Amino acid sequence: MSDPNLNTYNSATVIKWYDHLDALTPIEKYFFELHKDLILRSNILDIGIGGGRTTAYLVSICKNYIGIDYSKGFVETVKTKFPNADIRLIDARDLSAFENNTFDLVNFSFNGIDYVSLDDRKKILSEINRVLKPNGVFFFSTHNKDHTTFDQLPWRNKSNNLITNLKTFIKLLPFLPKHLKQKEKEIRLKEYAIINDSAHNYGLFTFYTSPRFLKEQLNTYHFYDIALFSKNGKIENDETLDDWIFVTCKRSVT
């Protein structure tokens, strides 16, 4: 069965877009610096490597680095950039290539966990818990369904001026017929939604979670010491979070 998200991530245009990203976000810088001592001696699994943003930083300082992505295009791109790095074509829903209790830290950046169904999201959390060592750290980000910008028309973004919003509308106009057809496949529930948002010209179905549902899921899959951060690295409560939720947690010993 065709996966529209994977098709998008394998497209030449999207691969090129990610290939040009080379900077860590403020929260990534904060997190990696906070855990630098751990990273230096760690076995790290970097999931959803895209164009190799996080690879560039982690591969140079950690004890052992493995980067994975389910997009063949991304994997080939990163292998070219970092020929000595261990880069593999692996889907996060099936980490059977790795034994239990293998990694000290798992990183899953840029909301990569949001591009699968609810059942597949559960598989990912279960697999990450399995391959992490007891008390191992999991760092990732996810879309916030409770944020005011959820499902907002991109050309009505109040943080942009009129000209910017007009340019956004003109850019997306050719893709609106496809988007309207995709809407019937969307899922909209109180605690989570999977919608065809405007990312990559309406090329993706994206999972959005409420903070409460997010913490429930993490507890179900035996993660503890859960902290939710804003983009600038500040710990937030459920009401003050950004449109992206950045999460740190640990794998339970039991």
pLDDT > 70: what percent of the chain?
99
What domains can be seen in the chain, in order of their start residue?
4-143+209-251 (3.40.50.150), 154-202 (no CATH)
45 neighbors 69 (Cβ within 8 angstroms): no
Q: Which tokens is 46 given?
A: 């970097």
Residue type, 54: T
Angle subtended at Cα 129 by Cα 127 and Cα 130, rounded to the nearest 5 degrees: 65
Per-residue pLDDT tens digits for 141-161 = 999 999 999 999 999 988 899
- 173 alpha carbon, distance to own chain's centre: 27
- pTM for the whole structure: 0.95
Average pLDDT, the chain: 96
- At 249 the pLDDT is 98
Gap between the Cα atoms of 220 and 4, Å rounded: 28
Q: E-assigned strands of the chain?
A: 43-47, 64-69, 86-89, 103-108, 132-144, 187-188, 192-195, 206-209, 223-229, 244-251
Instruction: Answer yes or no: is pLDDT of 2 > 70.
Output: no
- At 1 the pLDDT is 45
Pairing of strands 64-69, 86-89: parallel
191 neighbors 212 (Cβ within 8 angstroms): yes
